[in-house]
Amino acid sequence: MTSSSITVAFIGLGTMGFPMAGHLSQQGYQVVVYNRTDATAKKWLAKYQGKQAFTPSEAASQANVILSCVGNDQDLQQVYLGEQGIIGAAKPGSILVDHTTASAEIASELDSAAKAHQLEFLDAPVSGGEAGAVNGCLTVMVGGEQSTLSKVAAVFDCYAKAVNLIGPVGYGQRCKMVNQLCITGILQGLSEALKLAEATKLDINKVVEVLQHGAAGSWQLSNRASSMTANEFDFGFAIDWMRKDLAICFDEADKLGVALPLAKQVDNEYAKLQQRGYSRADTSVLIKQFDDEQR
C-alpha cells in the first residue's frame, strides 16, 4: 500500500506530536488529528493538510493506524479506554501505537484491551526531544510483535532515524526508563563539570570541541553545554515532564528492588528548581542547582 491509501490518526499534538503528525502529512499520509485543546488542532490544520476529529473515537474510526502521544498513564486510559476512546471505535485489524512515555503497566493494559477487540498494539516511546521531532530524527523504542512493527515501519520512518524492537509489550517503556536515567546522570555530571570549567576560566566552546570527540562525549555535552553556561533553558523538554518520567522509573525500580541513588538526588534538585519557578525550563536547568550555594 502507498502512503496516500493509508489513513493515520494522531492523538495528541503537544511538543512532540505536533511535528510528528506534520511529517506524516508531508509524506502523503491521510492524517486525522485530535487534540484536547481545540486551538492547537486548528493551528496544526493551518500548517499541514489533514482533518480534525473532535474525540479520540472519531479519529480512530477513520484510521488504519492510530498513534498517540499524550501526557501520562491517566491520559492514556482516557483516550484509549474512555467513553469516547480509541479501543471501542477502532476497526478490527487496526494498529495502535503509543509514543507516550508512560508505565509498562499501562502498556500491558492497553495491549490486552486491544487484543480483545482484534487490534494490534505497540508501546513505542521516543527519544530525541523537540528538535528530534521537528527534524524527523527521533529514536523509537518498541515493545510488541515484530510482525506488527513491520506493518508500521514506513510510518515510523517519517519521523524517526532509529527504530528498534526491544521485546514484548512493555519493554519499550522499560527501555525509555533506562534512557531517562542515563540522561539524568549525564546532566548531573555535566552540570558539575561546567561549574568547575567556569571557575577555572576555561573557554567552554573549546572544552566542548575537545571533549565531544573523546570518552566524555555525549549528546548533552554537544548540544547543551554552551547553552547551559549562557543561561539558556528554553528547549521544550521541561523538568515537570522529567520528574513525571523519573517517578515511573522509581516505581519500577522499587518493584524490582533496584536502588537509584543518583537519580533520586537529581529528582530532589529538580523539585527545588520547580519551587524556584523553573517548572517549564529544559532539564539542562539542573546546573542552576548550584546558584544558592554560591550566593
User: d(Cα 182, Cα 148) in Å, to the nearest integer?
Assistant: 29
C-alpha grid cell, residue 215: 570518552
**Hey, what's the torsion of the CAs at 246, 255, 99, 158, to 10 degrees?**
90
Q: How far apart, in whole angstroms, are the C-alpha atoms of residue 132 and residue 143?
A: 21
The answer to whether residue 47 is catalytic is: no
**Cell numbers given for 183:** 540522561
* HEC per residue, 244-281: HHHHHHHHHHHHHCCCCHHHHHHHHHHHHHHHCCCCCC
User: Among residues 176, 206, 244, 272, which one is catalytic?
Assistant: 176
Q: Are 160 and 139 in contact (CB under 8 A)?
A: yes
Distances from the Cα of 131 to the Cαs of 117, 136, 178, 235, in angstroms? 36, 8, 21, 8
- DSSP conformation class of 50: -
Q: How many CA atoms lie within 13 A of 209 on its CB side?
A: 5
| Number of Cβ atoms within 10 Å of the Cβ of 181 | 19
The residues that are catalytic are: 176
